[in-house]
Structures are given as C-alpha cells and as structure tokens.
Structure 1
C-alpha cells in the first residue's frame, strides 16, 4: 500500500521547527512530568483504580478480579520491592505507559500521515482530550495499558501495510496478547483491525499473510494462562456480565450511553481544533489528503464502534463509558489531521491553546487539596484521611494479621498503611491476596455512614464464605472517624470488628 507523499511545512518556518520530533516529544514529556511530580507531591492517598492495584499486588496470581485482567498488577509487583508499596510505584508505572502511548502514537501518525507537521497536530491532541488530559492523570490504570496497546497497534498496522515482516507480526502478537491482559476490550480493537484488513483490498494481503498465524499463536500463548484461570472462576457469560453490566439498563439506553461516550471522548479537543484548524481544513486540496489514513483508520473506527454496540445483543444493558472509547476512537486525531493542508498548520497557536488547558488541569490538581474536603463537590477520594483512620485502628488495638473489607478503595488504602498485614476484599476470588503469614488478629472494616452502623451483611457473608470467619465470636466493636483533609464538617467514619485471636483463615 502506498502512503500519501506530502510536503512538510517549509524548512525553517515556525511550524516546521515546532513539528520536529525532539520538540514534539519534549512537549509531551514535560506535560507528563509535571503531572507525575504533582501526583507524587499530593500524598499517599490512592484513587479508586490505584487502590485496586495496591490491594491486588500482595501476591502473584494468574488473575485477581474477573472484571479486570492482571498485567498492571504483575508489573506493580515487580516495582514494589524497589520503590515500596503505595503511590510511588503506581505513579511510575502509569507514566511509563502514558509516555509509551505518546511515543507509539507519534510514530503511528508519522507513518499514516506522511509528514511531521500533521503528525504533530495529531499527537498534540492527546493532552487536550479529557480522557488523557485529566482522567488518565488522576485515576486510570488498566486504561493506560489499553491506550498504549492501541497506539502500538496503529503503529504496527502502518508498518505492516508498507512491508510484511515476521518480526512485525511477532510484535503484533505480543501487542495483542499483552493488550488483552491490560484491558479486556482491547480484544475488540484487534478484531476490528482484522475485519478492516479483510474488507479493504489494500490490507487484505496483510491479514492473509502467514505471519498472521504467528501473531495469533503468540497472542494465544500470552493470554491462555489468565483465560484458563478466569474460566476456572466464572463462565464466559458470567465474566462478560461482571465486566460489562452495571445495574439495569435497556439495550436502547445503553446505545444512547455509547453515543454519549463517543461524543465525550474527543472533547474539548475536537471543538477547539475544529475552530483553530478550520482555515487549514478549507485549504487542503484533494491530492493532499492522506488517503490511506482515511480509508484504513476510518474503516477501523466504524467497525470498532459497531463491535462495541453489538455487545448489547448477548449482555443487554452495557455500562459504556468514555474510557472504553480509547479502543475505537484513539485514531480520531490522526483522521482529523489527514484532512489538513500540510503547508498551513497553525501549530504555534495550537500550542498556546494547549498550554492554557494544561495549566488549568494542573491548577485543578493543586486547587483540590488546597480547597479542602468541605469545598469538594465530588467524592474527592484523594482527600480521604486514611492516615488518621489507620492510626485510629491501631489505637483501637489492631497490630497485625488480616484485614477484611468489602470496598476496593478502602482496602487498597489500608494495605498501603498496613504493609505487614494481609488485606482481603470479599468480592475477589479466594486466595488471590496470598495466604495468611502468621497467627495475627482478624479485623473487619467498612465505611460507616454514621458511627455505630453495623457491618454490611455482604461483608459478613463474604468473610464467612472466603475465610471461614465466625462473626458471633467475642470481638471489639467500634468506629474510627476523622475529617477529610482540610475539612471542618465532612468526615470519614470506618466501622470495625476486631477479633483478638485468629478467626478461621482470618489471621
């Protein structure tokens, strides 16, 4: 397949200098570095996804939760002996993935578009998209793996479209396997790419090449152990329902959610870029359009969206969200740049807009802790006083042993502050958090709307079913309460049930 040959901006022009690889990658590196430093300075309290990872990374297992695959957890287990338990290794891992995503996306854009100018426009769209500019910075883990895998998939597909080599097919198999182990719905991205290749004549030879069998075999070897583990705990239907369905939703309402998620994914970048690059869109002549990118990536986007929509057929109501759209819609900035006139790219003005957006997001990260818990309009998990909660539980008599929780966020944050104890979350399959390490105490902990609220029945049942806990044995009961950081009125209360002696496998 021949790629469109387009001229870059005139040598020495402002656009050409700003589109140089070292400049583009330097801008992206600075963006990610500023966010990473702010996260490290914010403190040890973990968000939801980070807490889930801290909780899971207590022992090696082929899987942890049937709702999420294990790759991020495995990598975290490798980093924790070096960087410790908590937000530091999670932050390092997050920004390694985001950095890899940007690098692979830059290379993919250069191959599909044929010039550095439009490739710079495409990759510099990422900080202006909510999913990458904010959401991935504060909470996402598995989705950062998904984004990196999709970016590498776009890069390898462009390489294979030019020349089919067995090395690239091997790398494709590795990407497919690790991508599925990072986020389940990456499988739909791989399927969409295969269907795109079968539909388009210029890519058909890529799919029908013997190297495709090599890629499939490599991917299967990588995924098979976790798939075997998953099927040992749930059927395919049950696992799919656990991943996709949240509450009662009709198929029509779910498709509406898909539409909203697809529209939200590209914002505010798409509106701002549409305004700023409108003159370049108008000046683009037909022969300057990067047609391979439009044909291949446009077909991929349509097929991937249709595959996501078809999930409602076996599962009914599906909980679509904008982070799910990374798989089908990550090529959008490259598609947008394919219609720009390469000699008329206001990259400097776009960087000014981008700088404003980045400053705003960085300012929000600083402002939330400074404003404090009383001023926070949302859940503001980053302000939860888990240091004070852990100290209160120790003052109540807990020294070490097993902590049983029914909440991922609570469990992950307690694990960070009680690294010598095992923390078990009751919805996970038995055994994934490792065996008990001694004959310590047994502590049940839960979020209590008011001090004195009894333990939730599902927590008691989970503790009994997974660890053999007998809740009727003598125990110390109470609650630990502390204000949210910087708050006067808003408080977090954690109820507890403390057994001084081992209780079943809770010890």
Structure 2
C-alpha cells in the first residue's frame, strides 16, 4: 500500500528536519528567556546542585545535574545554558521517536500519527518546555532505549546490545522509576513471539551488565544515603491502609493517565473506534502498553504506595502515540492529516502562550514563579552587603538558584535541601523569606550550620522589588543578614 507522506514525515526525511524542530524548541525557550531572567523551580534547583560533581544529590538521580555541571564549566551559571540542555533533550526525544518508527517499519501515515501525537501530549509540548528537568531527561533516554532495544533485537550484534545497556543506564540515572519502563520493555519482548525468537540472550545479559556497571556508582551512593530513597517513598505513602489505600491509588493512577494523554486522547479514541476489528493487538507496541501498566501496578503495590502523580507517567508511557500508530497500519490519510494539523496548532499555540503568560500585564493575569524579580533582589542584597562573603545560606532552592545567577561565582550557595555540607567561612550571608523563617526545618538548619538561632541573627532592612510585568501585584520581599559562624560548629 502506497501511503501519502505527511508534512512532519517529509520534514524528518530531510537533513534539516531535526534542525527545524530544534529551532522551534529554541524559539520558545528564547522567548521565555527574553521575557524573564528568573529560573523556574526545577531549573533553580539545578543551579544549586550543579555547584558540585557528585555520584548523587537529592532523591532524583544525577544525570541531568551532570549535564548542567558540564555545560556550566564552559559558560558559568546560566539560565540560557539550562534552556540549551532542554532544547537538546526535546530534540533528542523526537529523534528517538522517529528512530523507533523506523525500526518498526512504519509507513508515512503511521509516522505521522506517532510524531504528531507526541506534540499533543501536554507533558511534552507544555511542561517540558516550561520547567521539567529529570523527567524530560528520563523520557528522552527511555525513548533512546526503546529505539536501541528494537534495533538490537532486529539486527543483533554485541555492540548494539552494549549500546542498549548504555541507553538504559542513562534512563535510570535520569529517573529511578525508569526501571518500570525497562522491565515492561523486556516483558513486552518476551510475550511477543516474533520478537522473542529474535532475542539474543547473551546480548541481553551484556546489555544488563553494562547498564548495572554504569549505574553502580550511583547505587552505592544511594546505599550510603538511605534517607534519599525514604524521601521518594514518603511521597507515595500518606498513611492510608486497607481498601481505602487501593481505592485512592488506582483512582489517582486513572486520573493521572487521563491527564497525561489529553488532548491526544480526543483524537486517538475516534480513530481507534473506527478501526475496530482491524486493530493489530498482537503488535509489540500494543503489548508494551499492557506490559508497562502491569509492571507499574506491581511496583506501586509492592512498595505500599497509596498515592500517585500523573507526571510520573512521562518516562513510562511516552510511547502511547507510537502504540496507536502500530495498532492502525491502515490509518486513513484524512486521520493522519487531522492529527498533524492538530499537532501543528498545539505547537504554535503553546509557543505563543508560553512567553505571553509571563508578560501579560492585565490586572487579572496569573502570576508565575518566573515573574519573581530575582535579579533585582540579588543585586540589591549584593549592593547592601558590600563585600560578599564566600558562602550564602538561602532558605530555599528557588531563591538560592536564582541568586547564583547574579552573584559572583566565588559565593557558594547552600540551601536546606542541598545534599552536602562544607566548612563555612567565618562570616556568611543568610537570605530567607518571612514564610521560610517560620518553618521549623529552616530554623533547625540555620542553627545547625551556623550555631546561631534565626531569632538571634542581626537582620538588616528587608529588600523588595516589584514583580516582573506585574507592577500592580504585591512586591516580593526578602530578609537578609550577615552572620558570624560560631566556632566549633560541625559542617
């Protein structure tokens, strides 16, 4: 059957195809950067964590922080550099999805459904461009693992299986829950006869050994920092038991899945319904959906979870548009065109709204973290403090990361959630909001690292600045003090 080639498919078939997608992602990132010099929450966290190169940091794996640290060695702390990493990962994700389509032998219309469908997932087209870090990295490398896995099984060769192990390790070093996807992928191969018979078990073992060796240093770090995994598990457990635990769990899983796939689902369901009776349910990509969901349910039940967040599905179920395309080999040209046009419209809409939401200054306009005047606050504190000390204790990642953008690189920025401690100079700068100073955890942290209670610190006149593009809103206010660290305080 000759299939009409889609605009997106033609784009990828040309050498400059990926460049066009990269330019789109770069344009959206650039417009956000122009609209606001303030880093979002996840980006600000990376600005703090990337001050050191460690085998682990917080309850998130270290790969994204390693990428950030590496680029900062060339550019210094930079919001623009963080956007460069984001653009690279988004472009890599789309390239990996196209590679999967090639490995599965999709024709033009199937590729259209898969590639367009990716742009209709809100987590891809909105959340990833807005703030996501670890989840985006995990999804990009999960898609790379899928592509490498299909390639290795189809073509064989020890080096292809070794490459599969490298990709799998990158996924696990991006997000711990990637192991659910990896287990689901292996299960899907095993329950699909046409793929199971081609699986080279020696190669599969090699891939596993490579992945485990690359993951091992971080695993050892986790063993020495058990509290990190406890933080992750605590987010999944709200203390419910019995039937209520599972009712809440499966309700939240269903709600999360629904929110993850809209608006793509609004187009996918009619296509699926019209093709009933001709759906290829035996395809490995269709079985991959069931396999990952099966492993996911086993996983959350085994660890005793009673809550679930929809955003956790990103690295696990990103391939749903590919699975739809696999199930509909005779999809009509009209259906493929509708999906493509919808994807183009969604991309353009998000590209406009993403920066516009920051600069829209009408009284009723919503306020975002990127409207916080962090540059002005940092410059006011530096001017008032005079000579900056060698370390600053900041009450949260959002403020701390943004301060690092504007303060001298010689100032080490520490926050309550930074995973390391270090000997402090005799005098440090303490920066906090009033709300944070009322937090018992922040109070305990300041007392532990300085030996001085927050109530005994000589707080200077607060600094404030009007919100970016929101002059009618309440100014942002930050407290600061120069504190002499008491002798004998352990770092």
Separation of aligned partners in 2, 1:24 and 1:83: 28
Q: Does 1:245 align with 2:236?
A: yes
Aligned to 1:134: 126
Checking the alignment, whether the CA contact within 8 Å between 2:106 and 2:326 is kept in structure 1 is no
2:274 and 2:250 mapped to 1: Cα distance? 33
Moved more, 384-393 or 33-42: 33-42
In the alignment, which residue of structure 2 is the partner of 1:494? Answer: 478
How far apart are the structure 2 equivalents of 1:310 and 1:128? 29
Alpha carbons of 1:49 and 1:176: their partners in 2 closer, same or farther (altered >3 Å)? same
- Which residue number corresponds to residue 324 of structure 2? 336
TM value normalised by structure 2: 0.88
Match of 1:28 in 2: 21
**505 and 43 in structure 1: CA distance in 2 versus 1, 3 angstrom threshold:** farther
Contact 1:482 1:492 (C-alpha < 8 Å) held by counterparts? yes
Kindly indicate whether the alpha-carbon contact (under 8 Å) linking 2:43 and 2:133 is maintained by their aligned counterparts in 1.
Answer: yes
Structure 1 spans left out of the alignment, 5+ residues: 1-6
Partner in structure 2 of residue 480 of structure 1: 463
Q: Helix, strand or coil for the counterpart of 2:477?
A: strand
Query: Contact 1:113–1:290 (CA<8 Å) still a contact in 2?
Result: no
Give the equivalent residue in structure 2 for 1:9.
Answer: 3
1:331-480 paired onto structure 2 within 5 Å: 331-340=319-328, 342=330, 344-346=332-334, 347-372=336-361, 375-377=364-366, 380-397=368-385, 399-418=388-407, 419-431=409-421, 436=424, 439=425, 441-449=427-435, 454-466=437-449, 468=451, 471=454, 475-480=458-463
* Residues 446/324 of structure 1: CA separation in 2 closer, same or farther (3 Å cut): same
**Is the 2:44–2:400 contact (alpha carbons within 8 Å) kept by the matching residues of 1?**
yes
Question: Are 2:243 and 1:259 equivalent residues in the alignment?
Answer: no
- Farther off after superposition, 74-83 or 486-495: 486-495
SS, match of residue 128 in structure 1: coil
* C-alpha separation in 1, matches of 2:487 and 2:101: 58
Note closer, same or farther for the CA distance 1:239–1:295 as it changes in structure 2 (3 Å cut): farther
Inter-CA distance 374–231: structure 2 relative to 1 (3 Å threshold):
farther
Partner SS for 1:63: coil
Q: What value does the CA root-mean-square deviation take over the aligned residues?
A: 3.1
Whole-Å Cα distance in 2 between the matches of residues 19 and 394 of structure 1?
A: 49
Q: Which residue of 2 aligns with 1:167?
A: 159
Does structure 1 conserve the Cα–Cα contact (< 8 Å) formed by 2:122 and 2:263?
yes
Aligned pairs for 1:228-239 (under 5 A) are: 228-234=220-226, 238=230
**Does the 8 Å CA contact 2:154/2:198 hold for their aligned counterparts?**
no
Q: Could you tell me which residue of structure 2 aligns to residue 4 of structure 1?
A: none
Instruction: Answer yes or no: is 1:80 the counterpart of 2:72.
Output: yes
1:165 shift after superposition: 1.6
- 1:154 Cα deviation from its structure 2 partner: 1.8
Summarize deviations over 1:132-191 as a string: whole Å, max 9, x none: 110000010101111111211221232133232211110111011111111111111111
Cα deviation for residue 323 of structure 1 reads: 2.5
Q: CA deviation at 1:264?
A: 1.3
Give the counterpart of 1:213 among 202, 205, 212.
205
- Give the 3-state SS of the residue equivalent to 2:255 in structure 1: helix
Q: Paired residue for 1:60, among 53, 58, 73?
A: 53
Equivalent position SS for 2:30: helix
1:10-42 per-position Cα deviation (integer Å, ceiling 9, x unaligned): 5xx767974762286465334323223223323
For residues 421-456 of structure 1, give each alpha carbon's deviation from its aligned partner in whole angstroms, at most 9, with x where no partner exists.
11111133333xx665xx46312222225xxx8553
DSSP 3-state at the match of 1:338:
helix
Distance 1:236 1:198, change over 3 A: farther
Name the CA distance, whole Å, in 2 between partners of 1:16 and 1:322.
28
Structure 2 distance, partners of 1:506, 1:369, is 43
| Number of aligned positions between the proteins | 482
| Other structure's SS at 1:494 match | strand
**Alpha-carbon distance in 2 for matches of 1:470, 1:448:** 15
Question: What is the DSSP-based 3-state SS (H/G/I as helix, E as strand, rest coil) of the residue aligned with 1:124?
Answer: helix
